Amino acid sequence: MSKKLSIGLFGFGVVGQGLYDIIKTKNLNIEIVKFAIKDPNKKRSLPAELFTIDKEELLNNPEINTIVELINDTEAAFDIVSRALSSGKNVVSASKKMIALHLDELIELQQKHGTSLLYEGAVCGSIPIIRNLEEYYDNELLHSISGIFNGSSNYILSKGFIEGLDYNRALQQAQDLGFAETDPTSDVGGFDAKYKLIIAAAHAYGVIVQPDEVFNLGIQNLAAHDLQYAREKNLKIKLVPVAKELDDQNVAMFVLPKFVTSSEFLYNVEYEYNGVTVQAAFADQQFFFGKGAGGHPTGSAVLSDIAALRYDYQYEYKKAKAKTNLKFTNNIELDIYLRYDDEALVNDLKFISIKERYYSGDYKFVIGKVNLQNLIDNQSRISVSKAFVAFAGQLTGVSLASA
């Protein structure tokens, strides 16, 4: 028998509205008691008495046993979630940056107070990847997790390849449709994908890493020459986060644009859709596909977590508790494509080997193997010089460098 959930909902934006739309069509023994909002003057579709700007009305209400957090303020979200967990309330959150930054503390709070925090909606929208990593793959050796984790950047890239739009026009369309923020840095810079990767990797490998330790480089410097090169080689460019177990002691993570071949699942993932590829020792390769953005797709993932709380579901964090020898490392070598103007940048990246070089009047590129740490050391130069870097190898091409 499921227990009744009385919910305090923080945020009534796109996802909050989408969640409400879904809940009102169901009979799930769930009641939203109160909504906490930031702007009391904004016109709402529900009675005014359901809304408040005072978070204490939700956090201190003994009738509310579940908090759903769907706001954009990272530190305010952590305050809400941590206080709720500490006071005995279960929580559902979709705040990937907040979770990635504070995952260690959030796990400790759940264990200390016997409460549950679920966050399927924080990673890849409607795709149920966290629950699968937690349950289906709990005893599986996972070689790698990769995919398209950000619908906004994928929409921009699809517009470039399929419709021939340049980066700025594609970005503007994404912003007009609400897929990208006015400041799109988190999406196109790979930060959003990195937060999601860190959360997924914690469940896949039990390794919890701070976001500033993980390298991310986005698609801001994408140019027509890069698209032309990809088309000539029958490739597509996708922004791909990667978590890969290199051996029984090391896990690597990074976010980079990637040249994707027509034989890869991600080749056909377009526009605002997401896709996750899991490479496992025994299950082999499996692929998850679905919408990664939008109120109803993300709302459906949030509702799945809420429904699970009716039966007292908790993440067990089995792999994190196992205390394996796995550690995070940036000491890896990978094949990259670098389109550049600054010759000194090529020297400073210290290519271990070079497969191909091309020079023309206004277009130069080099393809070869570098150590990831050299990319990290030169990240600001890459950005400022408008150079474009893409991962140009299969996941099997990522290797652990010698110490």
Q: Which two tokens stand for residue 73?
A: 């303020």
* Residue 34 designated active-site: no
- Catalytic residue, chosen from 196, 236, 238, 364, is 196
Q: Which residues lie below 8 Å from residue 82, measured CB to CB, with a gap of 6+?
A: 102, 105, 106, 109
Which amino acid appears at position 396 of this protein? T
Q: Which two tokens stand for residue 6?
A: 């009385």
Rounded to an integer, what distance in angstroms lies between the CA atom of residue 20 and that of residue 35? 11
Rounded to an integer, what distance in angstroms lies between the CA atom of residue 324 and that of residue 317? 13
SS3 342: coil
Report which DSSP code applies to 252.
E
Rounded to an integer, what distance in angstroms lies between the CA atom of residue 191 and that of residue 186? 5
Rounded to an integer, what distance in angstroms lies between the CA atom of residue 91 and that of residue 19? 15
Give 306-318 as a DSSP string: HHHHTTT-----H
Cα radius of gyration (the chain)? 22
Rounded to an integer, what distance in angstroms lies between the CA atom of residue 72 and that of residue 198? 19
Q: Helix, strand, coil % (nearest 5) of the chain?
A: 40, 25, 35
Cβ atoms 330, 252 nearer than 8 A: yes
Rounded to an integer, what distance in angstroms lies between the CA atom of residue 137 and that of residue 338? 36
Q: Which two tokens stand for residue 35?
A: 């909504």
Rounded to an integer, what distance in angstroms lies between the CA atom of residue 171 and that of residue 291? 19
Length of the chain equals 403
Q: Which residues lie below 8 Å from residue 302, measured CB to CB, with a gap of 6+?
A: 15, 19, 68, 70, 92, 94, 120, 121
Cβ atoms 368, 247 nearer than 8 A: no
Rounded to an integer, what distance in angstroms lies between the CA atom of residue 54 and that of residue 232? 57
Known catalytic residues are 196
